[in-house]
Amino acid sequence: MSNYKKMQLELTYKDFPSTRYQGSKRKIVPWIYKNTKDLKFRTVLDGCGGSASVSYLFKKMGKQVSYNDKLEFNFHIGRSLIENQNVIFSKEDVHHLLNNDLNNPNTISKLFSGIYYLDQENSWLDNVGYGILNMNHYTGNILEIKKSIAYNALFQACLTKRPFNLFHRNNLQIRTKDVKRNFGNKKTWEKDFSSVFEHFIDEINSKVFDSGIPCNSLNKSIFEIDEIGYDLVYLDPPYHNKERTNETSNYHQCYHFLEGIVNYDNWESMIDYNSKNRRLLKNDAENLFSKTNIYQSFEVLISKFRKSKIIVSYKYGGIPSIDYIVKTMKKHKKIVYTRSLPYIYALNKSNGAKTREVLIIGI
């Protein structure tokens, strides 16, 4: 048995890039591997890629991976880890970026004062966000991948320094109030952005590897991707709990700040100024996985990719139900089965005993 094969069989979640991304499958990738390693497939589409943990698993398995996410900031995560085979962001690159002398327009400082970060942190974010946008000491694909690595590290730093790791509320006061806390990572909140950013640069660099098989990162609606060419399609769309408000199921709203960073030059024109926390204007993608459209969306996607093996990542208690998804998949697949795993989410420990992660597999 080759060393590469041994590495696959000995995977733990610590082999994967860390993230605070909502709904990331990082901690259960060994279980996902256990339930996919015997399926026959060479090419795979991770249709709603998010943190890229599952795409990273498939890349480690030696598959030709197409990572996709509609959000542009996620595309950069995919490009930095999945499409990237050998480019790293060097110490010299970090020094050049953090010490740039660009005259940035202070967009974050002007628009987000008192909302998400302290004033000095907003100033730092302006400098680095504008600096990544205007990096020019490389050319071609190497430049674009280095930008994606820097963006990915910046996103992870931003998430780590946010209460709940989200941008759904104007809640900087959770960090700044002098009160006793029984949640959150105040120690990390108080670290300077540069040190957190450099930590994630080092981590991302350490996770870059050449699988020997070309992979790519896409930035499209899953509904617009060509359905031909994938032996397996993995789907992990936003999840709606039938018993809750589902405030955090809208990724466009929860991560609008990160989406704004990668559109720094146009950010001001993209903002909904009627929102207290400067969210982006709504787009069509939000409606495709809303509660009212989720049934139709599942039916469309399962039908669209019916010529491929399909895996839907899901949880009990969702809308639509698991039974509904299984029934829909059986219209197009000869064999449909489920696998489940008890799982406790970091921000939902009180309900952890009721939570089961589910794979719905159609072949």
Tens-digit pLDDT profile for the chain (363 aa)? 334 444 455 788 889 999 989 889 999 999 999 999 999 999 999 999 999 999 999 999 999 999 999 999 999 999 999 999 999 999 999 999 999 999 999 999 999 999 999 999 999 999 999 999 999 999 999 999 999 999 999 999 999 999 889 999 988 888 888 766 655 566 778 889 999 999 999 999 999 999 999 999 999 999 999 999 999 999 999 888 877 666 667 888 999 999 999 999 999 999 999 999 999 998 766 677 888 889 999 999 999 999 999 999 999 888 999 999 999 999 999 999 999 998 765 555 444 445 789 999 999
Q: Is 261 in contact with 128 (CB distance < 8 Å)? A: no
Q: What is the pLDDT of residue 285?
A: 62
Residues 6+ apart with CB under 8 A from 36: 61, 232, 311
Structure confidence at residue 173 (pLDDT):
86
pLDDT at position 1: 34
Block residue for tokens 């598959």: 63
With a threshold of 0.85, does the pTM exceed it?
A: yes
- Which residues does residue 154 pair with via DSSP β-bridges, in sequence order? none
Distances (CA, A) of 317 to 15, 184, 353: 30, 27, 13
Give the pair of three-digit tokens for residue 359.
């794979």
Tokens standing for residue 288: 């495709």
Residue 37 neighbours by CB distance under 10 Å: 12
With both helix axes pointing from N to C terminus, report the angle between 119-133 and 193-207 in degrees, rounded to the nearest 10: 40
* Segment 188-195 long-range contacts (CB within 8 Å, at least 24 positions apart): 188/160, 188/161, 189/161, 189/163, 191/161, 192/124, 193/121, 193/124, 193/125, 193/128, 193/157, 193/161, 194/98, 194/124
pLDDT at position 247 is: 63
What's the pLDDT at 271?
97
Closest CA to 82 of 49, 119, 122: 49
Asked if residue 237 has a cis previous peptide bond (ω within 30° of 0), the answer is: no
- C-beta separation of 69 from 78 below 8 A: yes
**Domains of the chain: total:** 1
Neighbours of 253 (CB within 10 A): 20
Q: How far apart are CA 340 and CA 312, in angstroms?
A: 12
Q: Are 64 and 214 in contact (CB under 8 A)?
A: yes
What is the extent of the structural domain holding 125?
3-362
Q: What is the pLDDT of residue 6?
A: 41
> Beta strands 232-235 and 64-68: pairing type?
unpaired
pLDDT at 235: 98
- 229 φ/ψ angles, rounded to the nearest 5 degrees: 110, 5
**Residue that the structure tokens 């491929």 belong to:** 308
Under DSSP, is residue 345 helix (H, G, I), strand (E, B) or coil? coil
Kindly give, in sequence order, each residue whose CB lies less than 8 Å from that of residue 210, ignoring residues fewer than 6 positions away.
Answer: 85, 86
